[in-house]
Amino acid sequence: MSETFDGGGRLPAAFMTPGTSSFTDFLREVNPDLLPGLRDVPQGGSSAQHLTPEATTIVALTFPGGAVLAGDRRATAGNVIAHRDMDKLYRADEFSAIAIAGAAGVGIELAKLFQVELEHYEKMEGHSLSLEGKANKLATMIRGNLAMALQGFVVLPLLVGYDEADRAGRIFSYDPVGGRYEEHRFHSIGSGSVYASGALKKLFTDGLTRDDAVTAAVQSLYDAADDDAATGGPDVHRKIYPLVDVITEEGHRRLPNDEIAEVAEAIVRARSERPEGPTAPLR
Amino acid sequence: MPFYVSPEQSMKDKADYARKGIARGRSAVVLRYDGGILLVADNMSRTLHKISELYDRIAFAAVGRYNEFENLRQAGVKFADVRGYAYDRRDVNGRMLANAYAQTLGAVFSESSKPWEVEIVVAEVGETADSDQIYRVTFDGSVVDERDFVAMGGSADRVSTSLKEHFDKDASLAGALAAAMHALAQEGGEQRDIEASSLEVAVLEREREHRKFRRVQGDRLNRLIEEGKAAEEPAAGGDDAGDSDDS
């Protein structure tokens, strides 16, 4: 540790040795303590599962020219609300964002490492990884967490990006062993995902505008919060609203709070008239 | 059979050697403009960069031997990324990187028989113009904290003189680029024409979110060059007079 962070001293030999463009691999050489997932978790039985709060519903959908990623703000530990204003979405780089469901502590660490990994590669090589490359890299990192997953610290990310080659938004989901699946049109993960997916299935059409896609995402999160105790709905009193990231050829953009507040409040108002929300035509 | 060389002589020889090596290449300049810091290098290659990003607000520019400064650049990226990951992104700053480079170059210069033929600049754009930092690190490990602009490599003295005449820290990006190109054109003792294709240009934009570093190339670069030329036209008479004084 001291060798690596000797700020005033010369750069250590390991830093001057040409080698990998992977930040994770480099860190494993010089400072493995900093890597997540390498620690041995003591066999604590099921109680270990409550060491870190669980993060919940995330939705993603594509629209012509981009993709929307949105998440609620609640983290729970058992039946207790651990956080009301958690941020489960991370800007991974200019053209991608990652969201996490599952063990919050481990997930945040993973998202942070993934972010540095992409950036490090880009700086070392002079160009960024393809979206496929980013998706595959994330799969490897999930696989690295398998031992932790078996102890109950399961982390499932959702990767959303704008593919500059395809000029379209794309969505990738994962399983706990690192299986990578490309999702078309829309997808949802987390405890409220069944309800959110149901809502999205009815709301999604192929030609959504960006604003409609954002509304559809917030609507589906409302439905998830409606039926899943571990998902938080828009909290109009505390002014806590879902977080929404939009990725287009312009890059990644986190929507400002007042913009989402407007969408969320309109939805809450409409739901006071019709609690089940918008209906789809029967045929 | 070994024979005695005084330390003074050996250091002088090494410094001469490094200086000659650096002067063989083409120049690079780093200067402030109204929106941040502009970095421009005279570089024919599209892929072998002399200018690059080190971290969120920090850029790297170098002249001299490619393999040597590329090694320093990569080490700096690793250093910054490890530190930012271990602590926080705000805990990575230009001064720290400039120090690490200075120590490294200083050690190479005094310990090995062949010094590195490189000169580098670490530039950090701050929240406000007052907190901008530009460090110039030379082959022997000395660091200079520059205020507004730096010219290095090739005919650095000439380029620097020209830059001093045309520099304006409140210039627009196009204006700063025009000043930089004018300065780089002084290379080799005569006025040359510089083409967009032989320029490597990047900026640290203060207002940009997340990562401030951005390459300026293609259409955007051509537009900026045109804009700079257009703005220069009215002042062209004065410019010519200044040039004839030089020669």
* The pLDDT of residue B247: 35
Contact B54 A123 (CB under 8 A): yes
Give the count of beta carbons closer than 10 Å to the beta carbon of residue A148. 22
Name the residue type at position A268: V
Please list the residues that pair with B120 across neighbouring strands. Answer: B62, B137
* A166, two tokens: 């395809």
Cα–Cα dist B62/A13, whole Å: 21
Packing angle of the helix pair B66-86, A23-30 (nearest 10 deg): 80
List, for residues B227-236, the tens digit of each pLDDT value: 988 887 665 4
Nearest residue on chain A to B97, alpha-carbon basis: A7
Name the residue type at position A82: A
* The pLDDT of residue A2: 46
Relative to beta strand B58-64, strand B36-42 is: unpaired
**In CATH, what number is assigned to the domain containing residue A196?**
3.60.20.10
Contact A252, A97 (CB under 8 A): yes
Please provide the size of chain A in residues.
Answer: 283
Mean pLDDT across B116-139: 96
* B139, two tokens: 């082959």
Contact A11 B104 (CB under 8 A): yes
Side-chain-side CA neighbours of residue B245 (13 Å): 9
Nearest residue on chain A to B96, alpha-carbon basis: A7
Residues of A in contact with B104 (CB under 8 A): 10-11, 16
- A251 φ/ψ angles, rounded to the nearest 5 degrees: 110, -170
Which residue matches tokens 């030999």?
A13
The domain total for chain A is 1
Candidate from B76, B83, B106 with C-beta closest to A5: B83
Please list the residues that pair with A61 across neighbouring strands. Answer: A68, A186
* A65, two tokens: 């020219």
Helices (H), chain A: 13-16, 23-30, 104-125, 131-144, 146-150, 193-203, 210-227, 257-273
List, for residues A187-242, the tens digit of each pLDDT value: 999 999 999 999 999 999 999 999 999 999 999 999 999 999 999 999 999 999 99
Q: Of B120, B116, B131, B157, whose CA–CA distance to B30 is shortest?
A: B120
The ipTM (two decimal places) reads 0.88
**Residues of A belonging to the active site:** 56
Contact A70, A186 (CB under 8 A): no
Residue A280 in domain: no
Nearest residue on chain B to A28, alpha-carbon basis: B82
Residues spanned by the domain of A221: 50-273
Q: Of B34, B70, B60, B47, whose CA–CA distance to B177 is shortest?
A: B34
Give the count of beta carbons closer than 10 Å to the beta carbon of residue A227. 13
> Strand, coil or helix: what is A261?
helix
Candidate from B78, B96, B106 with C-beta closest to A26: B78
Contact B194, B27 (CB under 8 A): no
- pLDDT of B246 over the 60 cut: no
List, for residues B9-67, the tens digit of each pLDDT value: 999 999 999 999 999 988 999 999 999 999 999 998 888 999 999 999 999 999 999 99
Residue A7 in domain: no
Contact B96 A23 (CB under 8 A): no
Interchain CB contact of B47 with A (< 8 Å): yes
Contact B135, B144 (CB under 8 A): yes
Residue A207 in domain: yes
Interchain CB contact of A45 with B (< 8 Å): no
Q: What is the band of A95 on the pLDDT scale with cuts at 50, 70, 90?
A: very high
Side-chain-side CA neighbours of residue B35 (13 Å): 17
Residue A114 in domain: yes
Residue A129 in domain: yes
* The pLDDT of residue A1: 46
Residues of B in contact with A97 (CB under 8 A): none
Residues of B in contact with A91 (CB under 8 A): 210
Sheet of strand A251-254, all strands in order from the earlier edge strand to the far edge? A186-189, A58-63, A66-71, A243-248, A251-254
Residue A192 in domain: yes
Contact A34 B86 (CB under 8 A): yes
* The pLDDT of residue B130: 93
Residue A255 in domain: yes
DSSP A165-224: TTTEEEEEEE-TT--EEEEPSEEEESTTHHHHHHHHHHH--TT--HHHHHHHHHHHHHHH
Helices (H), A11-100: 13-16, 23-30
Give B 50-79 residues with CB within 8 A of chain A: 52-54, 71, 74-79
Cα–Cα dist B195/A219, whole Å: 54
List, for residues B163-189, the tens digit of each pLDDT value: 998 888 899 999 999 999 999 988 766
Q: Of B155, B97, B162, whose CA–CA distance to B124 is shortest?
A: B97
Give the C-alpha distances (Å, rounded to integers) separating B134 from A42, A201, B73, B183: 49, 54, 16, 18
